[in-house]
Amino acid sequence: RCADDNDICGQVTTNGSPEAGVWVIAESFEVSTNDGAAGRYFKVVVTDQNGNYVVPDLPNATYDVWVRGYGLVDSGAVQASPGDEIDLVGVPAATPQEAAAIFPANSWASLIELPAEDEFPGTGPEGNGWSTSLGSQDAFISQTKLGCQLCHQVGTPDTRLPNAAAFDFGWKKAGTMNGTADGFGRDNLAAVMGDWGERIAAGEVPPTPPRPSGKERNFVLTMWEWGDLFTYAHDEVATDKRDPFLYANGPVWGVDIGNDYLLKIDPNTQSATRIPIPTRNGWDVPWCDPPGFATLGCPAPGGTTAYPGAYDNPANPHNPMLDDTGKVWITTQIRPEGIENLPDFCLERDPGITGGHRQMGYYDTNTEEFVLIDTCFGTHHLQFDKEDRLWISGDLFNLGVIYPDLLDPDNPEGTESQAQDWWRTEFDTDGDDIADTVLPGFNYGIIPNPVDGTIWTGVLTGFPGRINRFDPDTEKFETYSPPAPGYGPRGLDADTDGNIWVCLGGSSHVAKFERDKCTQTWGTGDQCPEGWTLWDIPGATYKGHPDKHTDYHYYTWVDQFNILGLGENAVVCTGTSSDSIITFIPETEEFIRTYVPYPFGFFHRGQDGRIDDPSSWKGRAWWVDYGIDPILHTELEQGFVFKVQYRPDPLAH
C-alpha cells in the first residue's frame, strides 16, 4: 500500500523494464461538478527514473488510472481508490503513426515545408502570389503564428487536412480564418498546407519529442472541468498579481469569451459554476456579426458551419484581473462600437478619439453584482500598479487608465468620465525631446514596471513588432523592436529588478530588455539592439530549418514571488502549440517544461499564481486553463482549468 491513504502509487513497466518519464493519469467523475452536473476531475504525474509514481492527495472516489507516454499507446484503465498500490503496464506503439497520435501540434507542424526565402518579399496576386505584406520567410512564419495560431494549434488532428482543396474549403468555415488566408495569398498558402497534409496522409510522421526528464518529472497537475462544448475560456485569475497571498484557498475566476460568462471554480467544494455577464441597454449583437470577429459558427460567404450561432457573445469578455477589494475586473463590450456610440464626454475632451471594441466592467464578489463602465479607448488586457491605477491595453492609438477610487458603483454612468484618462501613443523620433510622430499599433500585453512605475505594452502591428514604454510622470512614450533573429512580441511582464521579459511568439525566443543599456532611447524602435538579450527556446523546428521553431508563445508571465519554488523571477512562456508550460530560469539559463499530455490540444494563454500556504509545496500553485478556439479541437472537446504544483521529487506526497 501507499504511504498515505489518499495517494495512489505503483510502478509502470513495459516488457518488464521500468518506464521513466511517462504520465500516469487518475481520472474520475465522482469528485467534481460542473454547473450542477458531474464533471471530470483528474490528476497527472510523471514516473521517476525507475518507473515509480505517486498520485498524491486524491479525494475519496473511484479512479480510472492509466498510462500515456511518447513511444507508447494509451494503456487500458485500471480502477483504483486512494490508498491503492497499482502497477501499470505500458503498451509499445506498433507503428510510428500509432506512436505519433499523441504528439503535440508543434511536432506535426515541423513537417511543414516553408516557402523559400527568395519568394519574399511577395509581389501580390499578379506577381508571385504571396502578399506584398510578407517581406521575408520570417514574416511568413510570424503571420502563421500571430494569425492562424492566434486561435488554435496548427498540427492538431482537426487541422491536418488531406490536400489543398480541403484547406481552401475549411478556411471558409469562419470569416476571420478565411480573411487571414486571403491575407497571405490564398492559393499559395493552400499549396503549402496541402503539400503538408498530403505527406501526412501518406504516412509521414514527425520526430519523437523528448520525454519529461530531471525536474520536469516533479510536477503534479490537478484538473477540473468547467464550461461546456462551446466555452472559449480566455485567461484565469486566482489573486491580485501584486500580492500572491490574497484570497488563499479561494475560488479561481475566468471568462468565457464565446458565450459571455464569468467562470468560477471552487477547489474546496470541487464545483465549477458560471455567471452571465450583462451589457448596457439591451445590447445583444453577437461578436461575429459585422464588423466583428467571425469565428466558430460565423462562416465566410460560401462557407458552411455545423455550429451556427455557437458563440452568442455580445459582451465577448476578456482577461479577468482581481484587485485587493474582491472585484474581478474584465474588459468587455457593453455597447456597440463606433465613434457615433461614444459617450459625449469622449469627443468633448478629445475630438480625435476613435474609441475601440471593448469597454470595462467588474464583478464584485462581495455584492455579487456587475458594474459596467464605458470608456473612450479600446480595452483588451489590464493590470494594476502600486498606486491602484488600472492600466489598460487594447487601442491602436491610445493607452488608457481607470482610477477605481473615482468611480461610484451606484452611479457608474455619472462618474465614468472622471474615472478615466488616456494618452495618444506619440513618440520623439528625432531626439529633440518633443513627441512628433504617432506610431499606430495594437497595444496588446501590458504591465506596470514594479521598480520605476513605467507602463509597458506589447505591440502586435508590423514586423518584427515592438514594445512601448510610457512614463506617467513625464507622459512620454518610447518604443523598441527586438533585433534579429527575434520577432513577434505579444504578452510581456517585468521582474522585480525592473527588467522587461517577452516570450517572442513568432521567433520562439525568451527576450530580456534592459533599458538602462540603451545608448539612445528616442526613435521608431530599432535604436537599442544592445538592450536586448535573446535565448532560443528548445523545441520542434520547421523541416529543413533547424533554427526556425514551430512553437507559439501566446503570453508571458514572470513569477516575481517564487510562487512555485523554481526561483524568484522565473519566466514562464506559454507553449501554446506544444501542450506545455515552458519555464526559463534566468540565473542558470535552464528551461523546464511542464507537459500537459491530456487532453491533448492544451492551448495556454494567460496564467496566474497564488500561495495558499507558504510552508509546503502543496500550498503553492500556478493556475492555468485551456483557452483554445474552438474547444472542439481538443481531445475531450471540453474546457478545463488546472493548477500546477512543483514537488521536491517525483514521489513526494
Tens-place pLDDT, residues 30-85: 999 999 999 999 999 999 999 999 999 999 999 999 999 999 999 999 999 999 99
Residue 453: pLDDT band (50, 70, 90) is: very high
Cα gap 376→394, rounded to integer Å: 12
How distant is the alpha carbon of residue 624 from its chain centre? 9
Cβ neighbours of 333 (radius 10 Å) = 27
pLDDT of the residue at 281: 95
Residue 290: pLDDT band (50, 70, 90) is: confident
* Single-letter amino acid code for the residue at 412: P
Residue 520 pairs in a beta bridge with none
pLDDT at residue 570 greater than cutoff 80: yes
Q: What is the mean pLDDT of the chain?
A: 97
pLDDT average, residue stretch 322-345: 97
Q: What is the 3-state secondary structure (H, E, C) of 419-437?
A: CEEEEECEECCCCCCCCCE
Residues 340-357 pLDDT 10s: 999 999 999 999 999 999
Q: Counting runs of H as helices and runs of E as strands, what totals does the chain give?
A: 8, 40
Residues 598-635 pLDDT 10s: 999 999 999 999 999 999 999 999 999 999 999 999 99
**Which contiguous run of DSSP H or E holds residue 166?**
helix 164-171
Residue 2: pLDDT band (50, 70, 90) is: confident
pLDDT at residue 250 greater than cutoff 90: yes
Question: What is the DSSP code (8-state) at residue 240?
Answer: B
Would you call the peptide bond into 630 cis, given omega within 30 degrees of 0 as the criterion? yes
Burial 228-239 (b: 16+ CB within 10 A, else e): bebbbbbbbbbb
pLDDT of the residue at 128: 96
Question: What is the DSSP code (8-state) at residue 516?
Answer: G
pLDDT of the residue at 291: 80
Q: Is 156 exposed, middle or buried (0-12, 13-18, 19+ CB in 10 A)?
A: buried
pLDDT at residue 1 greater than cutoff 80: no
> Contact at 8 Å (CB) between 69 and 174?
no
Q: Pairing mode, if any, of strands 219-225 and 640-646? A: antiparallel
> Contact at 8 Å (CB) between 26 and 55?
yes
Q: What is the total residue count of the chain?
A: 653
Q: What does 93-146 look like in DSSP terms, one character per residue?
A: -SSHHHHHTT--HHHHHTT--PPPGGG-S---TTTTSS-TT--SHHHHHHHHHH
* CB neighbour list of residue 182: distance below 8 Å, 6 or more residues apart: none
Strand residue runs (E) in 7-50: 8-14, 17-18, 23-34, 37-46
How distant is the alpha carbon of residue 616 from its chain centre? 28
Residue 292: pLDDT band (50, 70, 90) is: confident
Calculate what percentage of the chain has a pLDDT beyond 90. Answer: 98
Cα gap 378→460, rounded to integer Å: 15
pLDDT average, residue stretch 148-163: 95
pLDDT at residue 422 greater than cutoff 90: yes
pLDDT of the residue at 602: 96
Burial 589-614 (b: 16+ CB within 10 A, else e): eebbbbbbbbbbbbbbbbbbbbbbee
Q: Is the dihedral of CA 320, 322, 328, 329 positive or negative?
A: negative
Residues 86-108 pLDDT 10s: 999 999 999 999 999 999 999 99
pLDDT of the residue at 631: 93
Nearest to 249 by CA among 262, 266, 236: 266
Cα gap 384→456, rounded to integer Å: 12
What is the phi-psi region of residue 560: left when phi exceeds 0, alpha when psi lies from -120 to 50, beta otherwise?
alpha
Cα gap 330→372, rounded to integer Å: 10
**Which contiguous run of DSSP H or E holds residue 225?**
strand 219-225
pLDDT of the residue at 489: 96
How distant is the alpha carbon of residue 182 from its chain centre? 25
pLDDT of the residue at 377: 97
Cα gap 581→603, rounded to integer Å: 10
Q: Pairing mode, if any, of strands 91-92 and 580-585? A: unpaired
Cα gap 13→328, rounded to integer Å: 47
pLDDT average, residue stretch 471-481: 98
pLDDT average, residue stretch 487-502: 97
pLDDT at residue 449 greater than cutoff 80: yes
How distant is the alpha carbon of residue 359 from its chain centre? 21
The C-alpha cell at 67 is: 498510462
* CB neighbour list of residue 110: distance below 8 Å, 6 or more residues apart: 206, 207, 540, 541, 542, 543, 550
